[in-house]
């Protein structure tokens, strides 16, 4: 007897349907074809033991399992449930009438229970697109998949529940999630708040500017000055995710297997902080079975690189192209996958090897030239993609001992949202450009025009501070954002002067 069940394979952040064809005929043998990897081939042993725990058996006949299309490699143990149901249906141990209505995915434990899978959300999206009635998968993945509307999602704990459901018995309940209500309930649940930060008013102002314009930031300061603390609070002042951005972010985390049982939708901007020992593959994605890297997990959020010069140079250099293109493409001999990577980069570093260059009270002990050598660990092309250089100094005791809370993230965020609305209107009709940091050269020339007074101020700054040529564009983009925060249609001398103060590392005098 021939029976077909339906599963799904993940490629990048999307899914494609896989047909599991099972034939049970007279003879003795078990054959699996259709380009399965070792994890799929080993399903025979898992399935045989799992079904036996619930009163079923693998028939002693000739069983052929074909995973179609046969030229697409099938990876992982998530096909266990679809193959097992196909075998039980083809051998007459359960009804096979409704198998064509459902996509079935799940990894089987030896006791017949179902283990969670990766990519439940893109699988659910593809199942709806292909007009399947429902999706049956492990209970741990049910809430994640149920955010897709117009698709019945059933989360099962073991294979017996699935068999009973397909036989028209049992009480397997549909998982229902109100996507918009779930999104609204978790929209502002941030763990950290700028109200907790004592002092650092200048740095908080710079972080507000960065959030308002989507600018990349580097924080330079001695140990204990609060660089990491400030970076962790940046997502709390970014504009809230739209529902579309939330779904896109959740899809990436689903493919990477980062979703928890209780999660359904990622409603806050992600914050990723990989250790400086991270490999280039872990950072940008890839591997034998390509997976999203840290830069894709930070999509629509913040990527924080602490101790920037301690990262291997090769690792940092692979960031350059994704930062420009806002996506990363991973190519293999037989396939190519693309992951989105639209993130804000926040880097932090000590100003020198000992950490105390320019410290107000502690003397730097580094040898002559050590500061420049330390700074040169980070390449010029990467620094060229960072708009704001912010010096962070230790907070004096008087400020630390104040009981009065600082300005809250919610208040700062309102100003950021207002500035972003101005930019949305400005770039309406320009696909892929949403904030000032993303302006191309044509838009830059159109929206960053300086009057004669500003031109004179810029010339003086370039000459006296020894600013590099690459700083020019960055200063004007930041000045445009400062003007937006002030709701000013034009860049004024005040806006330009403030923007110039955020280019510390471009000064000739730095580190000398």
Contact 123, 17 (CB under 8 A): no
Q: What is the DSSP string of 386-433?
A: --EEEE--PPPHHHHT--S----HHHHHHHHHHHHHHHHHHTTT-TT-
What's the burial of 61, exposed, middle or buried (CB within 10 Å: 0-12/13-18/19+)? middle
- pLDDT for the residue 509: 54
Contact 42, 79 (CB under 8 A): no
Examine the pLDDT at 139 and tell me if it is beyond 90: yes
- pLDDT for the residue 396: 75
Examine the pLDDT at 58 and tell me if it is beyond 70: yes
What's the burial of 17, exposed, middle or buried (CB within 10 Å: 0-12/13-18/19+)? middle
SS3 466: coil
Mean pLDDT across 35-51: 94
Q: For strand 152-156 and strand 285-286, is the pairing parallel, antiparallel, or unpaired?
A: unpaired
* Token pair listed for 420: 């972003």
Examine the pLDDT at 97 and tell me if it is beyond 80: yes
Q: Tens digits of per-residue pLDDT, 252-285?
A: 999 999 988 877 888 899 999 999 999 999 999 8
d(CA 297, CA 468) in angstroms, rounded, equals: 33
Helix (H) or strand (E) holding 138: strand 134-138
- pLDDT for the residue 369: 83
Examine the pLDDT at 24 and tell me if it is beyond 60: yes
Distance, CA of 207 to chain centre? 21
455 phi and psi angles, rounded to 5 deg: -60, -45
Mean pLDDT across 203-230: 93
Residue 196 DSSP one-character state: G
Question: Alpha helix locations (H) across 239-344?
Answer: 243-255, 280-284, 294-297, 313-317, 320-325
d(CA 103, CA 411) in angstroms, rounded, equals: 46
- pLDDT for the residue 262: 78
Contacts of 171 (CB under 8 A, 6+ apart): none
Give the angle subtended at the CA of 270 by the CAs of 420 and 264, to the nearest 5°: 110
Q: Tens digits of per-residue pLDDT, 65-75?
A: 999 999 888 99
Mean pLDDT across 95-112: 95
Mean pLDDT across 157-180: 92
Sign of CA dihedral 360, 365, 369, 372: negative
- pLDDT for the residue 337: 87
Distance, CA of 31 to chain centre? 39
The half-sphere exposure of 488 on its side-chain side, counting CA atoms within 13 A, is: 16
Contact 129, 14 (CB under 8 A): no
Mean pLDDT across 165-169: 93
The per-residue pLDDT of the chain, averaged, comes to 90
Q: What is the DSSP string of 206-226?
A: HHHHHHHHT--EEEE--TTSS
Strand partners, 430: none
* Token pair listed for 506: 């471009």
* Token pair listed for 15: 């899914």
Mean pLDDT across 198-224: 92
Mean pLDDT across 139-144: 94
Mean pLDDT across 375-387: 86
Mean pLDDT across 174-200: 84
Residue 175 DSSP one-character state: P
Examine the pLDDT at 508 and tell me if it is beyond 60: no
d(CA 357, CA 343) in angstroms, rounded, equals: 30
């Amino acid at each position: 007897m021939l029976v077909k069940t339906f599963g799904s394979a993940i490629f990048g952040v999307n899914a494609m349907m896989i047909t599991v064809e099972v034939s049970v005929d007279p003879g003795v043998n078990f054959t699996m074809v259709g380009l399965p990897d070792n994890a799929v081939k080993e399903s025979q042993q898992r399935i045989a033991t799992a079904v036996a725990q619930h009163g079923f058996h693998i028939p002693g006949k000739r069983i052929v399992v074909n995973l179609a299309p046969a030229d697409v490699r099938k990876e992982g143990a998530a096909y266990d449930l679809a193959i097992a149901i196909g075998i039980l249906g083809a051998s007459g141990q359960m009804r096979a009438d409704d198998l064509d209505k459902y996509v079935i995915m799940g990894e089987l434990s030896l006791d017949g229970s179902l283990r969670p899978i990766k990519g439940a959300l893109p699988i659910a999206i593809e199942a709806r697109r292909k007009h399947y009635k429902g999706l049956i998968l492990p209970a741990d993945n049910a809430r994640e998949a149920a955010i897709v509307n117009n698709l019945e999602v059933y989360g099962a704990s073991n294979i017996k529940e699935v068999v009973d459901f397909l036989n028209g018995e049992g009480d397997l309940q549909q998982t229902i999630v109100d996507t918009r209500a779930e999104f609204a309930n978790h929209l502002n649940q941030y763990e950290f708040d700028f109200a907790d930060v004592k002092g650092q008013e200048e740095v908080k102002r710079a972080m507000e500017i960065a959030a308002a314009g989507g600018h990349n930031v580097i924080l330079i300061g001695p140990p204990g000055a609060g660089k990491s603390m400030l970076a962790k609070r940046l997502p709390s002042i970014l504009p809230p995710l739209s529902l579309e951005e939330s779904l896109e972010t959740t899809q990436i985390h689903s493919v990477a297997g980062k979703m928890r049982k209780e999660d359904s939708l990622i409603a806050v901007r992600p914050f990723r902080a990989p250790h400086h020992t991270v490999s280039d593959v872990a950072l940008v994605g890839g591997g034998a079975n390509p997976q999203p890297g840290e830069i894709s997990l930070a999509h629509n959020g913040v990527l924080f690189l602490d101790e920037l010069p301690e990262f291997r140079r090769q690792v940092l250099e692979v960031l350059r192209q994704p930062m420009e293109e806002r996506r990363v493409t991973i190519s293999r001999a037989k396939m190519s996958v693309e992951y989105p990577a639209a993130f804000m980069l926040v880097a932090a570093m000590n100003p020198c090897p000992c950490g105390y260059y320019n410290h107000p009270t502690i003397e730097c002990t580094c040898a002559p030239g050590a500061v420049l050598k330390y700074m040169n660990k980070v390449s010029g092309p990467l620094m060229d993609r960072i708009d704001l250089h912010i010096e962070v100094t230790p907070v004096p005791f008087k400020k630390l001992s104040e009981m009065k809370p600082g300005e809250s993230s919610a208040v700062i965020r309102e100003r950021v949202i207002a500035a972003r609305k101005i930019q949305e209107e400005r770039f309406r009709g320009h696909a892929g450009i949403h904030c000032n940091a993303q302006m191309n050269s044509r838009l830059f020339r159109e929206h960053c025009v300086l009057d004669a007074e500003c031109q004179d101020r810029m010339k003086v700054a370039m000459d006296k501070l020894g600013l590099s040529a690459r700083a020019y564009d960055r200063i004007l983009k930041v000045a445009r954002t400062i003007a937006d925060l002030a709701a000013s249609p034009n860049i004024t001398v005040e806006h330009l002067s403030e923007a110039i103060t955020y280019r510390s590392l471009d000064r000739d005098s730095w580190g000398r």
